[in-house]
Structures are given as C-alpha cells and as structure tokens.
Amino acid sequence: MPPAHNVQGLDDTGGPQAWFQSLPVVTRYWFGAALMTTCAANFGMISPMKLVYIWDNVWNDFEIWRFLTPFLFIGSFSFPTLITLYMLQSYSQRYEMEPYNTGAGGGTADYVFALMFGIVMIFVTYPFATALIPLPPLFARTLMFFVLYTWSKRHPTAQTAIWGVQFKAIYLPFATLGLEIMMGHLYSDILHGIAVGHLYYFLVDVVPLVYGKDVLHTPQFLIDKLGVGAYVAPTPAVNAGGRMGGIGNNTWQAPGRVNPPTNPAGPARGYNWGSGGQRLGS
C-alpha cells in the first residue's frame, strides 16, 4: 500500500517552522521576539508598563531591560499592530538579504550595524523629539520605519502598492504616513523613524558621494563575525522517507550564513539598486 500523503503538503514543505527558519537571522530573531512579546503583553502574561521606555525606572531602579523591550512590544491587538508585524518581517528581510557589502548597505553584518545606529539615534533624539511632538515610549514602529525608509532610498523605482494603489518605493514611507493620518492613527513615531532613517541615509550615501568622506562604515569585527555577501538560508534535512520533517521534527544541515565575496579584504562601495518591490494589503 502506498504511503499516505498529507493533503496540504505541509510535511513536504516543512510548514511554518521551515518558513520561520528560512528568514535571515536578524529578521528571524527580531520578528519572533516582537511577536512573542506583543502576544505575552496582550494575553496578560506581562504588564505592558514593564515594557515601555521610562528613563526614571532605568536610572533609579536599574530596569535595563527597558532599553530592549520598547523595540519588541508593538502595542495592543489591532489592525495597525498586525500591519506593523507584517511590514517588520517583510522589509527587514528584504534589507538583510541584499548581497551588497557597502559599509552599512546590505547583508547581515551591515544590517546589524544599521540597526545599532538606528537604536542609538532613536534614544539620543527621543528627548528632543518629544519636545516637538508627542511620542509614545515604544520604538518598534520607529525602528521599523527607519528600516523601511532606508530600503525605499535604496530601491526608489521599485513598484509598491497599498490597497491596490501602485507607486514607486521612494513614496512608500510617506504614503503610509498619509494613510495613518487619514485613519486617525498615531503617526508621530513614523515621523521619528523617517527622520532617523534620513540621517542614516545622508551619512552613509550622501556624504561619501558629495563630500568624499566615509563617515559610517560597518566595523570589521561584525564583518569578521557575520561575513559579507548574500545571506543563505538554512537547508532542512530530508529524512529516510525522502520527505522533510514537520514541526518538531526538522533538523538543519547548516545554519543560515553569508557567503564571502571573491575578495573579502577589499569590498567595493556603491549600490546595485536592483528592482522588485512588495505590495501591501494585496
């Protein structure tokens, strides 16, 4: 008798675990941690007030986890929270999987450096920004729009869409901002993320071209640790029956990695702007 087959083919594809493991390493951990933290707060497993950024609690009570949790807790269960999770995974993955070693312009090492810059500058500018506009003490959307803005500047002509309306990627952050304003949602954190993203873009892209100075460059220790080049997802092992295991039964032949270029000691600057894009709400 021939072996029974899963109608949906989940055993053949590896299911949700295979999809999650295929994400680039930084995107995988950020998205997974954001999903778990947001769910834990909404299900009452932890108080949301323990997750937000409150400087007095950090300074007086040494609650140093508040330097991390504001980038993981997105908010209460709502449609904007769902969209934020989707965009976080989508554009974080697109940025991290770019194969260009440009000194903070693509690949896992560059992406880690970009996020480090974004996180530090969000904290540095937060007190000044709150003097101009009211900002929530949560930074997940701020950092996500930092990534989205930077991605849109690297792919300005890529076609994107929101609810069927198509436009170039360069307009995506502002189209999303306008939509949030029209729907009456909070938008000040989006402005904050765009501002920090523009500062990063100016220092990494504009200053070297216009002024001939390399202000920001991925530290060598990150390149030594994480490599350069295109990210390669882990490969699921095939069991004796010729099929990949399901959830809880997958083993991985190798972790995700980045392949070094032909000359790792001399990466060239400059960007391959590429094409592509991502439709939102389609």
**pLDDT attached to residue 257:** 39
**pLDDT attached to residue 30:** 95
Mean pLDDT along residues 134-147: 94
Q: Tally the C-alpha atoms within 13 A of residue 116's C-alpha that lie toward its C-beta.
A: 12
- The residues pairing with 280 across neighbouring beta strands, listed in sequence order, are 162
Place of tokens 């209460």: 76
**Which of 1.10.357.10, 1.20.1540.10, 1.10.3720.10, 1.50.10.10 would CATH assign to domain 24-235+245-280?**
1.20.1540.10
Q: Which helix (H) or strand (E) holds 268?
A: none
Count of CB atoms situated within 10 Å of the CB of 75: 17
**pLDDT attached to residue 230:** 54
**pLDDT attached to residue 228:** 63
Cα–Cα nearest to 136, from 192, 62, 57? 192
pLDDT in tens, 151-178: 899 888 888 888 778 889 899 999 999 9
**pLDDT attached to residue 265:** 32
Cα–Cα nearest to 144, from 217, 205, 94, 76? 94
**pLDDT attached to residue 35:** 95
Q: Domain limits of the chain?
A: 24-235+245-280
Secondary structure class of 111 (helix, strand, coil): helix
pLDDT in tens, 39-76: 999 999 999 999 999 999 999 999 999 999 999 999 89
- What is the DSSP secondary-structure string of 73-100? ---SSSHHHHHHHHHHHHHHHHHHT---
> What is the C-alpha end-to-end distance of the chain, expressed in Å?
43
**pLDDT attached to residue 11:** 45
Query: Helix %, strand %, coil % for the chain, to 5?
Result: 50, 5, 40
Q: Is the pLDDT of residue 2 over 50?
A: no
Tokens found for residue 189: 């954190």
Residue 47, phi then psi, degrees to nearest 5 = -75, 130
CB-based contact 138:41 (threshold 8 Å): no
* Percent of all residues in the chain with a pLDDT value above 70, rounded to a whole number: 72
Count of CB atoms situated within 10 Å of the CB of 188: 17
Residue-averaged pLDDT of the chain: 77
Count of CB atoms situated within 10 Å of the CB of 159: 14
CB-based contact 88:31 (threshold 8 Å): yes
Mean pLDDT along residues 222-235: 65
CB-based contact 170:126 (threshold 8 Å): no
Give the pLDDT band (50/70/90) at residue 235: low
Mean pLDDT along residues 243-269: 35
